[in-house]
Structure 1
Amino acid sequence: MSVTTEQRVRWGILATGGIAAAFAADLVDLPDAELVAVASRSEEAAKAFAERFGIPRAYGDWTALARDADIDVVYVATPHSAHRAAAGLCLQEGRNVLCEKPFTLNVREAEELVSLARERGRFLMEAMWTYCNPLVRRLKALVDDGAIGEVRTVQADFGLAGPFPPSHRLRDPHLGGGALLDLGVYPVSFAQLLLGEPSDVTARAVLSPEGVDLQTGALLSFDGGALASVHCSITGGTATCASVTGSRGRIDIPSGFFHPDRFVLHRDGRDPQEFAADPADGPRTSFRHEALEVMRALRAGEAESPLVPLDGTLAVMRTLDAVRERIGVRYPGEVAEPAPA
């Protein structure tokens, strides 16, 4: 599973869409990373992607990539409706995997991937770049150290203006469409990064004619009395801000909370203190930090990342399942057993 500290980590990319291209562009700038293969269901698409990024091998099917023993880790960048199949294939064939968010459609699929990775002794991580972001890690450290006292509330939102036609993937139930899985995973993950898994979930949503959520609001309740209010939408562009309020202060992220460039710490009796991203860490939209964490973990021989632990990923999926149960969204082919809150 591990690679030596001297060895460049060899990456494969499964899928050739926009997020795969963004990841590849960041990966080629890392001196200890090597992008060696790409796969798509279309050989033409794979070859075009390979030519764009100087990748030596292009495969027209997923299995060929999964069986390429020259790959240390595969980045799965398919739509999330295909994450279970794509990541499962790679794990089954002995590859380590970084899988895009949301991890899967539901917790049942997520549990299957985690069990498979643990059975095979393979590394597996959700590509929750927020958790690897240096500024978010700084914020969490401040909260954990009691900078604002005991956390009372977390608020976060993520909305896109649209409008998205019924043919768009965000409106397609067969692709896991809707605001919750595509966007809501960020505020839910942010809240659970700071508060853990909620003990109770309430939610309301506006659904599309296709049966996916156009916008959803959820209230997460935690043992000890903390609350988190999260909102997501594909019908209106929100500020993408977040706020964490404690018994002795508050932390505000004014925009882009899932990849912030700054946040402000307010403490009772003190002047506000701003924390800004270090320019040396690269653009705030960079995928480099999650890639670096994967490579660090592989070199350390770790089966999962302490920054993005699998149990935490499963906890987020349970919450997303609970929200979908409350709002009445179920995807084609799902069994009728939403996870309890």
Structure 2
Amino acid sequence: MKVGIIGTGFTRDAHIPSLLGVENVEIVAVTSARLEKAQSAAIEFGIPHAYDEWQEMLTVHDLDFICVSTPVSTHFCIVKAALTAGAHVLCDTPAAMNFIEARSMADHARDVGRQLLINHELRYNPKRLKIRQLIHSGAIGKLQHIRIQNVTSAWNDPAGRAASDWWSFTEKGGGRLLANAPHQIDLLRWWGGKVGAVSGRLHTVVKDRLDRSSGQDWTATADDFCEISIDFQSGATASVSLFSVSRNEFGNHVQIFGTTGTMILDEREQLRLSQDGRDFIDVTIPDAIGRPPLTANSIWAQGVAALLPDAIAHLTSGRPLPEGMAFQNAIENQIVLDAVRRSSNERRTIDLRAGV
């Protein structure tokens, strides 16, 4: 299987090293908006071709599979072009800027007879899979509420980012809503089931910024604070708070409440369970061993290291894709994301039980 890589950010940490150890896979080419970055990745990983135009890669090479990890605003055009070129495509999360784009991407994949996959890598994290199993086994009784808090200092320094930083601009797909919330929403739907209603609040706390190199003034438009409330159709609820301009680093913290028990996944990735009011016990599962060495040893990279070989195995055998990478989940997540933005703009709860 001949593979092409579009983007040299997260792919360099996760996708490329994960694919190097997969049997019968050859990474043929890598592209980046900056040629020197593509060339650097090509040299590091022994990839024969490097480009600064993804269109050129699609024209020159006959590829079977393409990984797309680029700014969200570019997913729509790149994915559709890659599918048209005859490749199966793995798209990073979120799939697109909105539901309309995501639905069009899926329709196009069907029309050209190619498989479009979504990178929901956290579904391949052993601890989060364990949470799902415990919820569905009734270990905490009937699910009542899930609380997720993600607090980081990533965007705290007004002079810490470049004026060209796409993550800071709404029109480019930046902000906490599209950077982190898609993963949280996917987990919530995976754990809690169908979403009935959504409310949300988006806010840019640190708007006035300085370019970290030139010191030039610039203004961020994307949200660095995102708050989401979800009502599941089951009657359970969830709340998500994402804040990236904290002076201190607190990381990711998950609390899951049921009628007979509670689970906690803390910032150290330790999973604990309390049943019937008893003391919490450690039920942490170690991350799977035998994975390829990764440039970044994070839960995100580890998830990709498990997802990609699974994706290749299903594509080469012709088996149906596992639920976690099925693009329909990306579309359903996109509906929730769009509802959060609409709720924030209109200051009201959005009922999703009637459909889109």
Q: TM-score range by the shorter chain?
A: 0.7 to 0.9
Amino acid at match of 1:222: F
- 2:244 is matched with 234
Percent identical: 25
Amino acid at match of 1:267: Q
- 2:231 is matched with 221
1:207 is the counterpart of 2:196: no
Q: Please tell me whether the aligned partners of residues 51 and 57 of structure 2 are also in contact (alpha carbons under 8 angstroms).
A: yes
Q: Distance in 2 between matches of 1:327 and 1:199?
A: 17
- 1:267 is matched with 275
Using the TM superposition, name which of 159-168 and 81-90 deviates more.
Answer: 159-168
Q: Please tell me whether the aligned partners of residues 84 and 112 of structure 2 are also in contact (alpha carbons under 8 angstroms).
A: yes
Q: Please tell me whether the aligned partners of residues 111 and 314 of structure 1 are also in contact (alpha carbons under 8 angstroms).
A: yes
Deviation of the 1:269 alpha carbon: 5.9
1:277 is the counterpart of 2:286: yes
Deviation of the 1:27 alpha carbon: 2.7
Aligned counterpart for 1:39 among listed residues 31, 34, 46:
31
1:302-325 CA distances to partner (integer Å, 9 max, x unpaired)?
A: 454322322221111111111111
Amino acid at match of 1:254: D
1:47-96 CA distances to partner (integer Å, 9 max, x unpaired)?
A: 33211210012233212333466432111011111111111110111110
Written as runs of structure 1 = structure 2, the 5 A alignment for 1:66-85 is 66-67=58-59, 70-85=62-77
In structure 2, the residue corresponding to 1:328 is in which secondary structure? helix
Aligned counterpart for 2:110 among listed residues 93, 110, 118:
118
Q: Please tell me whether the aligned partners of residues 203 and 225 of structure 2 are also in contact (alpha carbons under 8 angstroms).
A: yes
Aligned counterpart for 1:192 among listed residues 189, 192, 205:
189
Q: Distance in 2 between matches of 1:138 and 1:33?
A: 30
Deviation of the 1:32 alpha carbon: 5.1
- 2:260 is matched with 248
In structure 1, the residue corresponding to 2:27 is in which secondary structure? strand
Deviation of the 1:278 alpha carbon: 4.0
In structure 2, the residue corresponding to 1:199 is in which secondary structure? strand
Q: Please tell me whether the aligned partners of residues 199 and 344 of structure 2 are also in contact (alpha carbons under 8 angstroms).
A: no
- 1:335 is matched with none
Amino acid at match of 2:265: I
Deviation of the 1:188 alpha carbon: 1.6
Amino acid at match of 2:327: L
Q: Distance in 2 between matches of 1:309 and 1:146?
A: 26
Q: Please tell me whether the aligned partners of residues 202 and 341 of structure 2 are also in contact (alpha carbons under 8 angstroms).
A: no
Written as runs of structure 1 = structure 2, the 5 A alignment for 1:149-168 is 149-161=141-153, 162-163=155-156, 165=158, 167=163, 168=165
Amino acid at match of 2:311: V
Using the TM superposition, name which of 91-100 and 27-36 deviates more.
Answer: 27-36
1:318 is the counterpart of 2:335: yes
- 2:12 is matched with 21
- 2:167 is matched with 170
Q: Please tell me whether the aligned partners of residues 193 and 234 of structure 2 are also in contact (alpha carbons under 8 angstroms).
A: no
Instruction: Return closer, same or farther for 1:299/1:135 CA change in 2, 3 Å cut-off.
Output: farther
- 2:93 is matched with 101
Q: Please tell me whether the aligned partners of residues 7 and 30 of structure 2 are also in contact (alpha carbons under 8 angstroms).
A: yes
Deviation of the 1:44 alpha carbon: 4.2
Instruction: Return closer, same or farther for 1:277/1:55 CA change in 2, 3 Å cut-off.
Output: same
Q: Please tell me whether the aligned partners of residues 66 and 95 of structure 1 are also in contact (alpha carbons under 8 angstroms).
A: no
Number of matched residues? 319
Q: Distance in 2 between matches of 1:303 and 1:279?
A: 24
Q: Distance in 2 between matches of 1:340 and 1:238?
A: 36
Q: Please tell me whether the aligned partners of residues 145 and 256 of structure 2 are also in contact (alpha carbons under 8 angstroms).
A: yes
Deviation of the 1:291 alpha carbon: 0.8
CA RMSD of aligned residues (A): 2.5
Q: Please tell me whether the aligned partners of residues 90 and 118 of structure 2 are also in contact (alpha carbons under 8 angstroms).
A: yes
Using the TM superposition, name which of 23-32 and 191-200 deviates more.
Answer: 23-32
In structure 2, the residue corresponding to 1:85 is in which secondary structure? helix
Deviation of the 1:296 alpha carbon: 2.3
1:288 is the counterpart of 2:308: no
Instruction: Return closer, same or farther for 1:113/1:277 CA change in 2, 3 Å cut-off.
Output: same
